[in-house]
Amino acid sequence: MKEVVLGLLGLGNIGGGVWDLIREFGGEVSKRTGVKLVVKKALVLDKKIHRGKEVPDEVLTTEKNDILEDPEIDIVCEFLGGEQPAASMMLRALENGKSVVTANKMALSLHFDELREMAKKTGAGLYYEASVGGAIPIINAIQTPLIANHIEQMMGIVNGTTNYILTRMAAEGAEYEIVLKDAQRLGLAEPNPTADVEGYDAAYKLSILGSLAFHSRVLVENVYREGITKVNSEDIAFGREMGYVLKLLAIGKDNGDSIEARVHPAFLPADHPLARVDGSLNAVYLYGHSFKDMMLEGRGAGDAPTASAIVGDIVQAAQNAVHPMPVMRKDPLPVADDWYSKYFIRMKAKDAPGVLAEVAGLLAKEEISVSAMTQKDAGPDGKATLIIITHMAPEKAVQRVVKALNPEICKVENVIRVEG
């Protein structure tokens, strides 16, 4: 039996979940793997406050160096969240030759290169399965079972909060603000939901996934990001009429000479596998040249699913004589600032002769063809809702059309990309 000594940086929601899982299921893990997990120290802000977990007093510490500098501790598990001091603590642990396991997508995304280089330098392991998709083994899948593939495309629902909100809006015809308040009341959205609803959380995750899948560093600042706050029930209802379901997607594509990396709401055909992923579930859809289509789906958040992935990483770190390290291109591919997609364009137009001709003329000027068009009856203001779905077109060309339209005649109210 191999005994592995752990130090936990943080004992909040995730750290507490890991503590519980090791305490309750550690014996079974030992039987299955031959690895005995022993938590020596857990860092907390106050020993008197540790989420009510049954943790012996001698395990609790308020001093980070009781973990980072202790030669008996083999693996450091980071659960602090945020960029700092989490990143610097992980870097110090790796510098001291300790393997690191983390679920922290923000610190990992922003400091991926230096953490990876330090791990390579000291021979320590860096494991982060839980940083994307909770219990879904997407990172392991990309790095090991699917390594003999050129992954050309990935699309993911990687934020449970926004998926819950969009699912409720679609099912009930409710508006965004109402569903958000319910999600906050139920604890599915933070009091300040910006990281989720504006796409920051998904962008960090795409930075990690894209870097691994395409073997080319995708910096989070190069990920195009757009949240769900401009989506309303009309968009969802009109999209459904035309056979589409709306999701917040993290999209990565390897175009050969560039990479697409973008987070935004997107319509999917109703029969697409991702379109059926509802509630707070997460899923990642991949396309590779050898395996073709694949989707992994599961719980993307919560203390228990996240703890499952973390303990799995701990066992791998303990068993590996040599720790796996992703290989990146020496010269990263550029991240594209333009891409091809279909577009759902919703506008309010004067119910008058010549309006459609003006819209069609601007689209034709940019060589954008129309796949479908529908018009709703004019309201009391004399303006009708006009919806156009284009064929594949460049993003920048569509934006030029939107800017060129005279708002007195035809005002664009929303533009949503169509994938799948």
> At 409, which amino acid appears?
I
Transcribe 93-126 into DSSP letters: HHHTT-EEEE--HHHHHHTHHHHHHHHHHHT--E
Mean pLDDT of 6-17: 94
pLDDT of residue 52 exceeding 60: no
Cα separation, 334 vs 258, in Å, equals 5
pLDDT of residue 409 exceeding 90: no
Transcribe 331-374 into DSSP letters: SPPPBPS--EEEEEEEEEEESSTTHHHHHHHHHHHTT--EEEEE
pLDDT (0 to 100) of residue 370: 94
pLDDT (0 to 100) of residue 73: 98
pLDDT (0 to 100) of residue 380: 75
Q: Let me know how long the chain is.
A: 420
pLDDT (0 to 100) of residue 344: 97
Q: Are 296 and 290 in contact (CB under 8 A)?
A: no
pLDDT (0 to 100) of residue 53: 65
pLDDT (0 to 100) of residue 47: 82
Mean pLDDT of 149-158: 96
- Please state, as a whole number, how many other Cβ atoms lie within 10 Å of the Cβ of residue 28: 9
Mean pLDDT of 179-200: 94
Q: Are 15 and 77 in contact (CB under 8 A)?
A: yes
Cα separation, 56 vs 50, in Å, equals 11
Mean pLDDT lowest for which of 11-15, 109-113, 117-121, 380-384? 380-384
Convert the pLDDT of each residue in 97-132 to its tens digit.
Answer: 999 999 999 999 999 999 999 999 999 999 999 999
Work out the percent of the chain whose per-residue pLDDT is above 70: 99
Cα separation, 251 vs 269, in Å, equals 16
pLDDT of residue 263 exceeding 80: yes
Work out the percent of the chain whose per-residue pLDDT is above 90: 84
pLDDT of residue 36 exceeding 90: yes
Q: Are 83 and 62 in contact (CB under 8 A)?
A: no
- Please state, as a whole number, how many other Cβ atoms lie within 10 Å of the Cβ of residue 67: 24
Convert the pLDDT of each residue in 299-324 to its tens digit.
Answer: 888 888 899 999 999 999 999 999 99
Cα separation, 305 vs 163, in Å, equals 17
Q: Using alpha carbons only, how large is the chain's radius of gyration in Å? A: 24
pLDDT of residue 48 exceeding 80: no
Mean pLDDT of 321-333: 92
Active site residues: 205
- Within the chain, how many helices (H) and strands (E) appear? 14, 17
Convert the pLDDT of each residue in 217-245 to its tens digit.
Answer: 999 999 999 999 999 999 999 999 999 99
pLDDT (0 to 100) of residue 257: 94
Per-residue b or e along 314-342, where b marks 16 or more CB atoms closer than 10 Å to that residue's CB: bbbbbeeeeeeebebeeebbebbeebebb
pLDDT of residue 51 exceeding 70: no
- pTM of the prediction? 0.94
Mean pLDDT of 165-174: 96
Cα separation, 17 vs 302, in Å, equals 9
Cα separation, 419 vs 398, in Å, equals 15
DSSP-derived 3-state class of residue 60: strand
Mean pLDDT of 271-291: 95
β-strand 151-157 against 75-78: which pairing, if any?
Answer: unpaired
Mean pLDDT for all residues in the chain = 94
* Torsional class of 93: left (φ above 0), alpha (ψ -120 to 50), beta (otherwise): alpha
